[in-house]
A and B are shown apart, each in its own frame.
Chain A
Amino acid sequence: MYKILYNEKIAPTIFKMVIEAPLVAAKARAGQFTMIRIDEVGERIPLTIADIDGKNITIVYQVAGVTTYKLTEKKTGEFLSDVVGPLGHATDIRKIGTVCCVGGGVGIAELYPVAKAYKSSGNNVTVIIGARNKELLIFKKELEDLGAQLYIVTDDGSLGEKGFVSDILKRLMDSGDKIDLVYAVGPGIMMEVVSNLTKPYGVKTLVSLNTVLVDGTGMCGSCRVQVGDETKFACVDGPEFDGHLVNFKELKARQNLFKEQEKHACKIRGI
């Protein structure tokens, strides 16, 4: 049983939870995730580790179905049945030069530990974050405190510039400044747009994929994705892959596999 120390809404539909999970916290590095299960009937879901503090890990989740809805109902002092990790490969954060970190929606929370790690290795880090509107722009303070060059965009212009993260990225690439790596995490369509954008510029691009998972340890293939000519498992080969090789069309299609079931489960619970 893993104790919940904090569980609060930080934006409409987005929550932050701090969990006491010493074994996970001890080993977790930027880019890795945890699998959690709320209770005996619960499903196992993956959540990126957004921060670590001593024995505790921080996860940020967006309400998208039954399990994430059930998470919102957990109170401080209550427990999660299972928390395991860290899973996936840690981000390779060696000093390479200039890294442009791009985050969209709840992906911004996932971007935070990676941007922090790249900065601490001595990279020149630029951060571009975007959301639909001001309310949904999470982790603004945390990213400001990093001391990196920060660009903010919102679809409706309620905060920062009006537009999409790809607009800023294109501007930066067109300005002639050398970018050694683009790291993008967010909705599938955002990562696809960013990858398609950087390809003709020849800028290496890593994306952190958000597939469906069951175990998270490589035993089922639920998270498989085509990368170049090969099929990879996001849980053990990823979650990061070369954005120019990922088959985004297939990735998006596979995310729909249980849509009917999920809709039904939400409907009967009135979610």
Chain B
Amino acid sequence: MNKQSPEERVKNFKEVAFGLREEEALKEASRCLFCKKAKCSMNCPVEIDIPRFINAIKNKKFEEAIMIIKERNNLPGVCGRVCPQENQCEGACVLNAKKAPINIGGLERFAADFELQHASIAEGQERRVEAVKVAVVGSGPAGLTCAGDLARMGYQVTVFEALHTSGGVLMYGIPEFRLPKEIVQKEIKYLKSLGVEFETNFIVGKTSVLTEIFEQGYKAVFVGTGAGLPSFMNIKGENLNRVYSSNELLTRVNLMKAYLFPEYDTPINIGKKVAVIGGGNTAMDSARVSLRLGAEKVSIVYRRTENEMPARKEERENAKEEGIEFCMLTLPTGIIGDDKGFVKSMECVKMELGEPDDSGRRRPVVIKGSEFIMDVDTVIVAVGQSPNPVFLKATPNLTVNKWNKITIDPKTQATNIKGVYAGGDATEGDDTVIAAMGAGKRAAKAIFEYLKNEK
């Protein structure tokens, strides 16, 4: 797919990947073999009927294509851009045998963008049938998906969002150049047209607690509060100035638009030599954001090798094209500050891979005597997130596992509390947007069954 050139794109926050043009989409759709037992669909976490929508594109029936996608996927403009297709639909495509899998993500994005540009078909029909209220806590991909499905089933849905803008990680976590915020807001507008209500500045756990939500007349609750608590490495110097969690960097830049400071009031203070610690999509995003904020040298520092990195292939490739250095098998052990309390350098040690650990990946082991100093003035810690504690602390009777992830029945997303379901990063399971959406869909189905039986 066409992209902005690396030299150009590191100076702006505009979307990097241009979508497929119509001729390209038609050409790609024509390559599809329309397999009867399509492996692509079987590997889609929300089971989109992929051959059917590709066939619609092939026949220039673009509106039909997006309708087919939307039967299973409420946020197609998002998924087409951020799904790890190489591990899902495209990775399963039989044409991999010829090293030429269909660009399914590109086709999904093409259909979604076509619809968003032709506003008339983007409006859903408000179809409130039941006078039954369901609450959704959190407006990230899990909550938005569940809300959309519930609204289409006829329930009266209210989404409670702690921040001042809806979208969750789609707004604060994923940068503009990967997922334009306009797309997210259009998807939310579509949900509003289905009758979904959004209450921002409402923190369930502070503004109201869970029991009060039920007291206000909601018959079931879906919890999609995400994993917004940043992890730190607990090494010395981690509280120095210009050490940020990736969450802070991304929230300031993506949500609060610090890249437009001082036109926007939220500042960000990034130096010239940035080290991003971590190997996931958040680390890639943090590194690429740092470049665009004016850093001259950005390094990804990861304790394993690139093979073990969880980041999406396209993001790793984009990061390398943009000139980001990959310092693999490297572990920071301490951050050194100057006399004003700002980062001056970082102590590191080299690693080698030993036996596999719990995650199945080979465990990194310190190489004795390999200590060295990295010349950096900014450190971004992107080593993971865990569930935000505000909701959990206010709901002590909710069962969570040892990592504070809400325990759920994987078939129904039900928690241990009657009428309460959960999905997305707040629960056990994969931490991708599409997995969150799958969970939102399962939960909506289960809530439907639950409310039917409660009558």
Contacts and interface: CB of A to CB of B under 8 A. Distances in A.
Dominant SS among interface residues on chain A:
mixed
A70 to B, nearest CB: 8
3 closest pairs, A vs B, by CB?
A253-B341, A261-B267, A219-B228
A203 interface: no
A42 interface: yes
Interface of A: 23-24, 27, 37, 41-44, 66-67, 81-87, 214-215, 217-222, 224-226, 231, 236, 247, 250, 253-254, 256-258, 260-262, 264-265, 268
A184 B263 CA distance: 37
A217 B230 CA distance: 12
B388 interface: yes
Given A41-B265, A222-B244, 4 more contacts: A44-B266, A66-B262, A253-B341, A256-B341
B269 A257 contact: yes
A219 B229 contact: yes
Contacts of A247: 239
Contacts of B263: 41
B245 A257 contact: no
A222 B340 contact: no
A238 B401 CA distance: 25
A201 B252 CA distance: 43
Interface string B203-244: 100111000000000000000000011101010001111101
B247 interface: yes
26 contacts: A27-B208, A41-B265, A43-B267, A83-B201, A84-B162, A84-B164, A85-B206, A87-B203, A215-B162, A217-B162, A217-B388, A220-B245, A220-B247, A221-B245, A221-B248, A222-B248, A231-B234, A250-B239, A250-B341, A253-B240, A253-B340, A254-B239, A256-B241, A257-B269, A261-B269, A265-B267
Contacts of B451: none
A84 to B, nearest CB: 4
A25 to B, nearest CB: 11
**Residue of A24, A41, A247, A254 contacting most chain B CB atoms (<10 Å):** A41
Contacts of A44: 164, 256, 266
A206 B243 CA distance: 27
Contact of A219 (B257, B341, B388): B388
B2 to A, nearest CB: 32
A265 B230 CA distance: 29
A12 to B, nearest CB: 24
Interface in B248-294: 248, 251-252, 256-257, 261-269
A86 B245 CA distance: 24
Contacts of B164: 37, 44, 81-82, 84
B429 interface: no
Q: Is the interface of B mostly helix, strand, loop or mixed?
A: loop
B252 A214 contact: yes
A257 B247 contact: no
A227 B301 CA distance: 28
A262 B390 CA distance: 30
Nearest to A214: B251
B262 A265 contact: yes
A262 B267 contact: yes
B239 A214 contact: no
A82 B265 contact: no
A155 B367 CA distance: 58
Given A214-B248, A225-B239, A67 B232 contact: no
B45 interface: no
Nearest to A259: B269
Contact of A221 (B234, B241, B247, B264): B247
B267 A258 contact: yes
B206 A86 contact: yes
Nearest to B260: A41
A199 B266 CA distance: 38
A44 B245 CA distance: 18
Given A217-B162, A256-B341, A257-B241, A41 B264 contact: yes
Given A84-B164, A226-B239, A218 B256 contact: no
Given A83-B201, A218-B390, A221-B247, A265 B265 contact: yes
B177 interface: no
A116 B163 CA distance: 31
A84 B265 contact: no
Interface string B141-185: 000000000000000000000111000000000000000000000
Contacts of A256: 241, 340-341
A222 B251 CA distance: 11
Interface string B319-353: 00000000000000000000011000000000000
B279 to A, nearest CB: 20
A266 to B, nearest CB: 9
A221 B241 CA distance: 12
Nearest to B229: A218
Contact of A84 (B207, B238, B341): B207
**Which among B201, B208, B240, B261 has the greatest number of chain A C-beta atoms within 10 A?**
B201
A124 B240 CA distance: 40
B434 to A, nearest CB: 22
B200 interface: yes
B267 A218 contact: no
A82 B415 CA distance: 32
B91 interface: no
B298 to A, nearest CB: 20
The residue among B244, B261, B262 with the most chain A CB atoms within 10 A of its own CB is B262
A178 to B, nearest CB: 34
A253 B241 contact: yes
Contacts of A253: 240-241, 340-341
A268 B239 CA distance: 30
Contacts of B390: 217-218, 236
A217 B241 contact: no
Contacts of A224: 232, 239
B230 to A, nearest CB: 5
Given A84-B162, A84-B207, A221-B248, A67 B265 contact: yes
A145 B45 CA distance: 63
Contact of B228 (A217, A225, A264): A217
A23 B207 contact: yes
A216 to B, nearest CB: 9
Contact of A220 (B200, B208, B230, B239): B230
A85 B247 CA distance: 21
Contacts of B448: none
Contacts of A23: 201-202, 207-208
B196 to A, nearest CB: 20
Among A83, A236, A257, find the residue whose CB has the most chain B CB atoms closer than 10 A: A257
